[in-house]
């Protein structure tokens, strides 16, 4: 699946129209925290790193990120290209 294709498909599952940006930004922070918590428990508590849980939480991060971008009329492709170009200049 292409980035922009994912972004548009994800937008079809967005519910509500009030304070969408705030909801998505807070959701992004919350889901990112869940990814960090899985890594923390693996690193410091000796838990196994559950790939399925990690994929699920990373998918949630991706969904919220796509909707923050969508709300701002920024295509994922633009973000990806900008980021790679910036990294290649370092």
Domain limits of the chain? 3-89
**pTM, full prediction:** 0.91
What is the widest separation between alpha-carbon atoms in the chain?
42
| Average pLDDT per consecutive 10 residues, the chain (90 residues; last block may be shorter) | 93 88 96 98 97 98 96 95 96
Alpha helices in 1-90 (DSSP H): 3-11, 20-45, 51-71, 76-89
Cα separation, 24 vs 4, whole angstroms: 18
Residues 6+ apart with CB under 8 A from 22: none
Domain 3-89: which topology?
Helix Hairpins (1.10.287)
Residues 6+ apart with CB under 8 A from 49: 38, 39, 42
């Amino acid at each position: 699946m292409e980035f922009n294709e994912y972004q548009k498909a994800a937008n079809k599952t967005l519910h509500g129209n009030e304070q969408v940006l705030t909801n998505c930004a807070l959701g992004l922070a919350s889901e990112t925290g869940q990814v960090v918590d899985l890594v923390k428990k693996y690193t410091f508590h000796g838990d196994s790193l559950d790939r399925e849980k990690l994929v699920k939480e990373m998918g949630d991060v991706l969904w919220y990120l796509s909707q923050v971008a969508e709300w701002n009329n920024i295509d994922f492709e633009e973000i990806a290209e900008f980021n790679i170009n910036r990294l290649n200049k370092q």
